[in-house]
Amino acid sequence: MSKTKWVIDPTHSEVTFKVKHMMISSVSGHFTKYNGSVETNGSDFKDSTIKVEIDVDSISTKNEDRDNHLKSDDFFNAESFPTISFSSKSFNGSKLVGDLTIRDVTKEITLNVDFNGIATDPYGQTKAGMEVTGEINRKDYGLSWSAVTEAGNVVVSDKVKLIVEAQFIKQ
């Protein structure tokens, strides 16, 4: 079987996350700079190899002070650890297993995938789309800053929801 390479289309993709704030609401954020590739056997994405790199410095939560705090050593330490990476180990079409590395800590995670199919755009490019979701514990990766409000609520939840809308272009 011949291998097919796909690269992420950043204009039609999003890398986002949600975390509970004070345990009463969620704050969303996203990364604006990332790259990703998939290597498939033919057009079947099962058992493909998926690699993603995210530029930590591109984090955006629509609040500059919060973004700067997230880039600091309390969280990502973007200066020392500028990249978040993911490398797949297996993909059965609905479950994606791989190694996620944040702050030089690598943990195996399992993500849910809704593969939305393959289509040809008006310009003749073949594209594939998928939605990837999952959850991690931020403290597993050394993102351990914490505070408690006067009422006893945790300021930032340990659980972080991951949501990736990815569109790939066949090479």
Predicted confidence (pLDDT) per residue in 58-76, tens digit? 999 999 999 999 999 999 9
CATH number of 3-170: 2.40.128.110
Q: How far is residue 57's CA from residue 33's CA, in Å, rounded to a whole number?
A: 8
Q: How far is residue 84's CA from residue 80's CA, in Å, rounded to a whole number?
A: 12
Q: What is the pLDDT of residue 150?
A: 65
DSSP symbols for 63-96 = -HHHHHHHHSTTTT-TTT--EEEEEEEEE-SSEE
Q: What is the pLDDT of residue 22?
A: 77
Contact 2, 44 (CB under 8 A): no
Please enumerate in sequence order all residues whose Cβ is within 8 A of that of 65, keeping only pairs 6 or more positions apart, or say none: none
Q: How far is residue 99's CA from residue 31's CA, in Å, rounded to a whole number?
A: 19
Average pLDDT over residues 77-104: 97
Contact 14, 130 (CB under 8 A): no
Q: What is the pLDDT of residues 108-135, one digit of tens each?
A: 999 999 999 999 999 999 999 999 999 9
Which pLDDT band, with edges at 50, 70 and 90, does 149 fall under? low
Q: Tell me how crowded residue 56 is: count the other CB atoms within 10 A of its CB.
A: 21
Q: Name the percent of the chain lying above pLDDT 70.
A: 94
**Alpha-carbon Rg for the chain in angstroms:** 17
